Amino acid sequence: MRIRFSSVAGALVIVAIILGLPGCAEMQSRPAVSGGSARLAGLQRWTLEGRIAVQTPDDAWQANLAWEHEGRQDRLQVSGPLNQGAVSIVLQDDLILINEGGGKESISRDPDALLKEKLGFSIPLQNLRYWILGVSAPGDASDEMEFYPEGRLKHLRQAEWSLDYERYHDWDRFVLPQKVLIQGRSLKLKLFVDEWVVRDFPI
């Protein structure tokens, strides 16, 4: 595992100061909202906590993942056990900032290249923000789509990436993916979500 940075909390504080991001809002209970890909794609405020397993031709490692999406901004923290080796990632449109702790920060308008340099793999985070909700990303045609009988996405192939949704779970009245296998040309990533929290109605 190539990640070797400071605590998640410290990284988030530094990133928030640099980009002037608002603090994390308090989680609130919301009434039921019906499903559907359009509603899920329109969610503007959500968080997930889970685990990822990454396999590339040169390396394989596991880590904890925390992801907060709010409007046009995504904040991710990837860390080992007990928050060891943590890295903070902030993405806004095509601008990415990676904080490695200890004052070591990198910013770029080429998210794929910077992710490859710092984490050892690259994945389109702007598309992934939709894929992990169980919907296709806008702008790119879907080469393949398969659905479970109840209408939830089972398999998606888009932008040269293949996703298999192996398990869903009812999270606070939203049914969202819990276990997803994501594969690219030289990457296999398994995502297991321990908790989803949706903090707004879809727009």
Please, are residues 191 and 55 in contact by the beta-carbon 8 Å criterion?
A: no
Q: What does pLDDT average to over the chain?
A: 82
The residue ranges of every structural domain in the chain are 8-198
CA dist 172 and 73 (Å) reads 23
Architecture of domain 8-198: Clam (2.50)
Phi, psi angles (nearest 5°) of residue 143: -75, -35
Classified as helix, coil or strand, 196 is strand
29: pLDDT strictly greater than 90: no
CA dist 121 and 17 (Å) reads 27
193: pLDDT strictly greater than 60: yes
Average pLDDT for 66-91: 89
The DSSP code sequence of 43-70 is --EEEEEEEEEEE-SS-EEEEEEEEEEE
pTM over 0.85: no
Alpha helices in the chain (DSSP H): 8-19, 37-41, 111-119, 125-131
CA dist 52 and 62 (Å) reads 6
96: pLDDT strictly greater than 90: yes
